[in-house]
């Protein structure tokens, strides 16, 4: 699981809970939003967060236990959660106070999309029932490389991704590549927009989602 702290440059009026003190414009410009990414182990969650926050693209796979990243997005907390079943007891501690959830799946691992519906979305809805979800297809650069697709099966198409996004009531569906950086910034721009827009509101109905890739 990955946690990301997204600092928004957008003013978000808010009062102090303890003394009624109104935040200054400078305080507002430093508003943070917490983002959590979930998905199958090895689907690209950590790579996505690493490259977006200026770190090198990881060349070797290392199972994530719990990583926290902090970055600034123009208009933010990010957490990367472990996908392996061994960490089922650990993931829930990442969910409290989350403002937006990224459910990631690999475009070259069809089963990872199946598990979005069967596992990751139900878990996100259970722990974050009023939080917007963004469905993200990762490893876009490998989609057209036959040898990279799991078990030589067909890669996940954009149409299939959109269908799942609509089914789970996602705020948006996006595709990206952490290796080439294609679509990476759009993922986090959309995450900030979703977090700010949906603050204090219910998640969108199942028929309403935005397709961006």
* H or E, element range at 106: strand 100-106
Q: How many angstroms separate the CA atoms of 12 and 32, rounded? A: 10
How many domains, the chain? Answer: 1
- Domain holding 51, by residue range, is 2-211
At 137 the pLDDT is 98
- Mind listing the pLDDT tens digit of every residue in the chain (213 residues)? 544 555 444 433 333 232 333 444 444 445 678 888 899 988 988 889 888 877 676 666 555 544 544 445 444 455 555 555 555 666 777 788 899 999 999 999 999 999 999 999 999 999 999 899 999 999 999 998 877 777 778 999 999 999 999 999 999 999 999 999 999 999 999 999 998 887 655 444 444 444 444
What pLDDT shows up at residue 171? 96
For residue 10, the tally of other CB atoms under 10 A from its CB is 14
CATH of the domain at 98: 3.40.50.300
């Amino acid at each position: 699981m990955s946690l990301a702290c997204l600092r928004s440059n957008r003013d978000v009026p808010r009062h102090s809970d303890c003394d009624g003190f109104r935040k200054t414009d400078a305080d507002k410009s430093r508003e943070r939003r917490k983002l959590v990414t979930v998905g199958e182990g090895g689907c690209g969650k950590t790579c996505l967060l690493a490259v977006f926050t200026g770190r090198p693209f990881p060349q070797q796979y290392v199972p994530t236990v719990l990583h926290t990243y902090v970055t600034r997005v123009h208009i933010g907390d990010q957490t990367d959660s472990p996908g392996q079943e061994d960490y089922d007891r650990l993931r829930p501690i990442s969910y409290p106070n989350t403002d937006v959830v990224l459910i990631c799946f690999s475009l070259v691992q069809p089963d990872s999309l199946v598990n979005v519906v069967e596992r990751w979305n139900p878990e996100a809805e259970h722990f974050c029932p009023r939080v917007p979800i963004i469905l993200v297809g990762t490893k876009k650069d490998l989609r057209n490389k036959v040898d990279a697709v799991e078990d030589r099966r067909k890669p996940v198409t954009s149409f299939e991704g959109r269908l799942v996004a609509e089914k789970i009531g996602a705020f948006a569906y996006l595709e990206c590549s952490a290796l080439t950086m294609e679509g990476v910034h759009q993922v986090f721009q959309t995450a900030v927009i979703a977090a700010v827009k949906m603050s204090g509101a219910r998640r969108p109905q199942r028929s309403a989602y935005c397709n961006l890739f």
